Structure 1
Amino acid sequence: MAFWLKNRQIPLVDDLRIDAPHGVLRRDAFETVQALGAALDALAAERDAVLRAARDDAERIAAGARAQADALVEAARREHDSAYARGYDAGRAQAIADWHARAADSFEQERRVRDRMRERLAELVAAAVQQMVHTEDARGLFARAAQTIERVVAGASYLTVRVCDADYDAAREQFGLLADAWRRQGRNVPVDVVVEPRVARGTCVCESDFGTVDASLDTQLNAIRAALARALDDAGRA
């Protein structure tokens, strides 16, 4: 049995889950799940507060820009009239150029505020996801890696998985399950799990005749961060 962590207000990857062998979740694991759920709720509240602050700042900047633009337009009009009266066409051109420059600066400030708010929100969500993933044992990491590899290297004639020494047993167990599943499907694909010296925990590099696939923990987290960034960019444009 597996428990998926979901929150309507925070987009997470579909496969972010906690496995419960035999349908039983230990008490300490259950408390961890409760804490993660509370963290997601707190993160959603902070996200909403950050977005509200960003909208308030954007509205304040936009209002200031409009007021400044109106004042500049009026100043430009007066300068225009004066320039016509005195025959100074150069004065009118300069006034209009000043208005455009100041208006552009105001809009740029508003854009920078929105970008900072989106970046901060992305950092908060990514940090929470990273913390949750790091609390998961190595079996969960290699179970996800095996699922990914099964889709990518379907039809391969061999598979070699390189991991660090500390992850060897967990990787051998999970990729052994993948090899068993392939054999039941009539695919006798040799799957070898080997220790790669001097690599960090969470490393999972898979080689086949189709090429090399990096299914390491850092790669999975980077994919999550990229998905968060795209989601926040889409929300900012909406």
Structure 2
Amino acid sequence: MGRVVKGARFREERYALAVPEIAPPPAEFADADDLGGGDFYGFGAEHDAFLADAPLANAHAHAPAVDVEAVRAQAQGILDDAARNAEALLADAHDRARALIEDGAARADAIAQDARRRGHDEGFTQGRETADREMNDMLVTMRGLLEMARAERHKLIEAAEPELVKLALGIAERVLHQQIALDRGVVVEMAKVAIARLIERDTVTVRVNPADLERMREHRDELIAIGDIRNLRVLEDQRVDRGGVVVETDAGTIDARMSTQLDEARKVLHIEDDVIVEPAPAEVHVKNELTAAKAS
């Protein structure tokens, strides 16, 4: 039979639980609206230089504005979806972590109160240790949730990027074709760019689409003056698409057709064949000009 201890007093002690604060999301979880600037699409310096030299941008500042709001809305929609999904994952992870911490604190308090009610110091200590272990387990779970959210956010952005690239290239294609259709001066500017790259300018033949023949003949004298050409012939050729030119000399050929430039752009940007992009500005296809120049 146990002894009865008279005059015993129960002493209540409070113990602080080490519950870390949930830090705000790091800089890498910036708002999805910040993803659009800079070098987000990964094109790099090569892509920037590729687009910066566009002759059409300088030659057609007067071209009518092209309505691309619908396409731009599609691109923004993809970004918004990715941002919303990423933010939802982060918010869910934080909510679950907060709930785990609150639940752990409640459990620790309940265990401590139960131990105090029984008046056993040993039970109180064991309860505190149990609560600490549960809290550590919950913190590990919380960190795992946050890592999963970060990985999922990265996947969402990677999945959205190709669609954004395709939309941007689609916009460039439509702008190009509309400029060619609405501005007859496109072919003249392309001829100027090609002629400026000539090494041999004694006899020059410029081949254009039949629809551009009249426009080119109107500017024949201007082309002769710019290129200091002795003999210039302008011929129609069904193989040349609208807005493009093929310039021939004794030294070689410069293929400045729009289709050729689109193919070169695909190669530079590593784009699949089913995606049409804006032509490489002034990066005309030089076949034999440089070889002839070195040989001379």
Q: What TM-score do you get using the length of structure 2 for normalisation?
A: 0.41
Larger-Rg structure: 2
Bigger fraction of residues in helix: 1
TM-score w.r.t. the length of structure 1 is: 0.49
